[in-house]
């Protein structure tokens, strides 16, 4: 016959295993959730076209949120010589923080002028020769 102390040890072991299992599976669910969020945003990015209105882009991406990631993640106003563009960023790529990458490396910018898409992607933004960035919103 088992003693009360054996019963108590067994319950502690079951509780410990349950907690570890819950922590392990919740981490996987979080990782998968971020992957699903990125994949959906990448698929939505394929629907964007030059000349599309800002309101249509916002409609395509929606206002989804997954933990700290929101749609859009942030937006900037960038000016140069009296000309202003707006940049809206969406989370589309895996961020490998262990390799020294920043959050910005996982965001794809969509660039607007006069509320119309003029392009998207980091290279397009870097080549635009705009400066004096003012961040106006973080989701």
Per-residue model confidence (pLDDT) at position 43: 94
- Is 4 within a domain? no
Per-residue model confidence (pLDDT) at position 25: 47
- Is 79 within a domain? yes
Per-residue model confidence (pLDDT) at position 58: 94
SS (H, E, C) the chain: CCCHHHHHHHHHHHHHHHHHHHHHHHHHHHHHHHHHHHHHHHHHHCCCCCCCEHHHHHHHHCCCEECCEECCCEEEEEEECCEEEEEEEEECCCCCHHHCCCHHHHEEEEEEECCEEEEECHHHHHCCCCEEEEEEEEC
Domain that holds residue 127: 40-138
pLDDT tens digits, the chain, 139 residues: what are they? 566 666 666 667 677 666 655 545 444 445 677 888 889 999 999 999 999 999 999 999 998 877 777 888 889 988 877 888 999 999 887 766 566 666 677 899 999 999 999 999 988 888 776 655 555 555 5
- Is 32 within a domain? no
Per-residue model confidence (pLDDT) at position 71: 85
- Is 35 within a domain? no
- Is 19 within a domain? no
- Is 126 within a domain? yes
Kindly report the CATH number assigned to the domain that includes residue 113: 3.30.1450
């Amino acid at each position: 016959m088992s003693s009360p102390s054996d019963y108590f040890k067994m319950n502690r072991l079951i509780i410990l295993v349950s907690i570890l299992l819950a922590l392990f599976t919740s981490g996987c669910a979080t990782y998968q959730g971020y992957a699903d969020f990125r994949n959906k945003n990448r698929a939505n990015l394929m629907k964007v076209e030059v000349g599309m209105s800002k309101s249509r882009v916002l409609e395509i991406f929606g206002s989804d949120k997954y933990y700290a990631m929101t749609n859009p993640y942030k937006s900037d106003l960038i000016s140069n010589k009296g000309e202003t563009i707006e940049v809206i960023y969406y989370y589309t790529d895996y961020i490998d923080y262990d390799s020294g990458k920043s959050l910005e490396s996982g965001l794809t910018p969509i660039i607007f002028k006069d509320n119309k898409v003029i392009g998207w992607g980091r290279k397009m933004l870097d080549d635009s020769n705009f400066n004096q960035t003012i961040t106006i919103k973080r989701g």
